Each structure stands twice: as structure tokens, then as C-alpha cells.
Amino acid sequence: MILLDTSVVSELMKVEPDPAVITYLTVQAPETLFTAAICKAEIRYGLARMPASRKRDNLVARVVTFFETGFRDRILSFDSSCAVFYAEIRHARELAGLPIEVEDAMIAATARTYGAIIATRRTKDFIGCGVAVVDPWRGA
């Protein structure tokens, strides 16, 4: 199971996503690709902050298609099991002197709960979280 984090989902919303990301994703079995509810929240928040424009409207359409059609049954929820891992991750990172954004801790906790690998451009954000990460931009 691979959890696409916000950086990957955001890349896929581009008119011309990075070819390395597309290549990485096309060699994965579609049923192994998931995203997290928090990623949906981050993407929707980014859209909400954009001024009204044709560009925003086009992005909204792509986002709706992605989450409601393409990944409709593959959005992992943040539940009470995730909450336990979240607390452990935040605490471990604090002790290591590596503060972590709330959203990243939630994504890491979701990945730990479901046994997923996180696909992200920002691999350093998940050091010490007890999860495996892969950078699709690097193909590994």
C-alpha cells in the first residue's frame, strides 16, 4: 500500500505533472495507491485560499475528479488508531529536536496505522516517524 501525500497529489493536479512522478505511479498497481483524508483537506484548503479565477475553477474540477472519482474508495481516514500513532510520532520528533507539522504527523500516523509507504517529495519531513518513504521524483 502506498499513501500519496499532499506533494504528490498536488503534482498530479498540474496540467503537466512531472514525468518522473507519472512514471513512478504508472508502474504501481492502481489498487495499491491511496491518499489520506488530511491530504484532501490540505488540497481543498489551498483551493479555498485562491482568488476566484478560471485557473481555480479548473483546479477545483481536477481535484473533485481525483478525490470523488479516481480515489473515491481509496482515501484513508484518520481514526482513533491513527491518533495513538500521531501522539507517539509528535513526541518522538520533539525529543529528537525535529518538530513536525501537524498535517505531516497525521499523514505519518495514517501510514503507520494502515501499514502504508508514504510517497512524497519531502522525505525529510518523515524521518523518525516509523514509516517507509519513497520519492517519486527520484523514482525510489
pLDDT of res. 70: 87
* Total residue length of the chain: 140
**Is residue 67, in this structure, part of any structural domain at all?**
yes
135 labelled as ligand-binding?
Answer: no
**Is residue 70, in this structure, part of any structural domain at all?**
yes
Residue-range definition of the domain harbouring residue 11: 2-134
For residues 7-20, average pLDDT: 95
The string of pLDDT tens digits covering residues 19-33 is 999 999 999 999 999
Cell reading at 131: 514509516
* Burial of 8 from C-beta contacts in 10 A (0-12 / 13-18 / 19+): buried
**Is residue 117, in this structure, part of any structural domain at all?**
yes
The rounded percent of the chain whose pLDDT value lies above 70 is: 99
Q: How far apart are CA 109 and CA 66, in angstroms?
A: 23
Count of domains observed in the chain = 1
CATH number at residue 47: 3.40.50.1010
pLDDT of res. 89: 98
**Is residue 97, in this structure, part of any structural domain at all?**
yes
The string of pLDDT tens digits covering residues 38-92 is 999 999 999 999 999 999 999 999 999 999 998 999 999 999 999 999 999 999 9
**Is residue 139, in this structure, part of any structural domain at all?**
no
Cα–Cα distances in Å, from 61 out to 1, 13, 46, 58, 116?
26, 10, 14, 5, 28
**Is residue 80, in this structure, part of any structural domain at all?**
yes
Residue the block writes with cell 512514471: 23
**Is residue 129, in this structure, part of any structural domain at all?**
yes
Residue 8 has pLDDT above 70, yes or no: yes
104 labelled as ligand-binding?
Answer: yes
**Is residue 73, in this structure, part of any structural domain at all?**
yes
Write out the DSSP string of 47-67. Answer: HHHSPSSHHHHHHHHHHHHII
Residue 140 has pLDDT above 80, yes or no: no
